[in-house]
Amino acid sequence: MAKSDQRRYPVTGFILVGFPEHQDLQSRLLSLFLTVYILIVLGNISMLYMVTTDKRLHVPMYFLVANLAAMDVVLTSSVIPQMLVKLIFNIKVILWGNCFIQMYFFHSISAVKILLLTVMAYDRSVAICNPQHYLSLRRDAFFVKLAGLTWVLGMASFLPPMVLTSIFPFCGPNEVYNSFCELLSVVSLIYTDTISVKFINLILNVIFVILSFLTILWFYIKICKLVKVASSEQRKVSATCIGHLLVLSLFFPSMALYSALFYVSHSLPIIHIASALVYVTLSPLLSPIIYILAAKEIREKVAKLWGKQTLQPLNIHVAHYIDDILIRGPTETMVAEALAALIQYVRDRGWEVNPKEIQRPAQ
């Protein structure tokens, strides 16, 4: 077929060959992807709720954690729902426009996430190494502006390669050797020379991945040097780095694994499914758990939310009249637990309870 004929019949869709043919394996993958996606959405939405509703968490560190939770939901939602639809209905074809939309959000949100992880390292570095400067940055809402900048830069950075790729002719093969649309997989199908797209992609990877990784490493080297001679208060603040370090240890290795396995072989689709699942879901799935375990304030918030949910089944009744509060329950232990929760709730809002005014049941 002549080139002119190929241009006359452009590709209007792509075939995703990353899905296995075996029906039983497809069913298992569907269950796995669906379960993981539900857990990711619930975990990260819960994190957003806790940060936005608790004034104690209205600090730069947790504001950035909330942004991380939001972009994890967007990142996984750009890939997994479409994969679920394809597994349910056994549809392997994705329309040309949908493929490019998926590619754009996958790469741009990944870029935003890398930048945000760098900003989070900077936040901990300034908080530990220069506390006075950190207070002035907090007053100026500096980290709010910085987080907004990461979204703008990340979302804008992958527009050039997306636009450039879209204007190239796609004629002939239209099989994407992946479980979702990804830039290099699609670029390999372009009819003409694609050196410009590959060069832009290389530059963006150097900027976002390598430079961000080196910057994060530099921030933590500064922190480690200071911690050796730091005060007890600075060492206490340095403990807040644990959650961020654990998230980094999940994100960068999973991204490296996905990139490495992409170049191994196109003959084993299950490799691409496994690597895509690890990269897209591992960090978003475990990040909320990590911050709940590593951050004292979030643990306390979870405990309060859990306590609110368990008061009603225990048949605890609270009555309020003018300036008196009556707590009634089936056992004295349950009433004591409810009283302790109520006192903590009042104190969290800046009020105090006079212990002498508390009338306990007669012995």
* pLDDT score of 240 more than 90: no
| Cβ count near 357 (within 10 Å) | 8
Q: Give the largest Cα separation in the chain, rounded.
A: 98
Residue 254 pLDDT > 90, yes or no?
no
DSSP 321: E
| Tens digits of residue pLDDT in 150-201 | 999 999 988 888 888 888 777 667 777 777 888 877 877 776 666 777 777 7
pLDDT of residue 217: 93
pLDDT band at 4 (very low <50, low <70, confident <90, very high): very low
Q: Write the pLDDT tens digit of every residue in 192-230.
A: 666 777 777 778 777 888 899 999 999 999 888 877 666
Q: Is pLDDT of 23 > 70?
A: no
Question: Taking 50 as the threshold, does the pLDDT of residue 52 lie above it?
Answer: yes
CA distance 295 to 127: 16
pLDDT over 90 at 357, yes or no: no
Q: Shortest CA distance to 32 belongs to which of 320, 325, 334, 270?
A: 270
pLDDT value for 341: 72
- Asked if residue 61 lies in contact with residue 124, where contact means CB atoms within 8 angstroms, the answer is yes
Q: How far is CA 296 from CA 67, 301, 338, in A?
A: 19, 9, 22
**pLDDT grade for 149, boundaries at 50, 70 and 90:** very high
Confidence band (pLDDT; 50, 70, 90) for 264? low
Averaged pLDDT, 272-289: 83
Q: How many residues does the chain have?
A: 363
CA-wise closest residue to 72 among 34, 121, 39: 39
Supply the pLDDT for residue 34: 92
pLDDT at residue 285, rounded to an integer: 92
pLDDT tens, 310-352? 444 446 666 665 667 777 776 666 677 677 777 776 666 667 7
When pLDDT is averaged across residues 111-134 and rounded to a whole number, the result is 89
The H or E element that residue 171 is part of is none
Average pLDDT over the chain reads 78
CB distance 154 to 109 below 8 Å? yes
C-alpha distances in Å from residue 120, one per residue of 40, 72, 116, 286: 21, 15, 6, 17
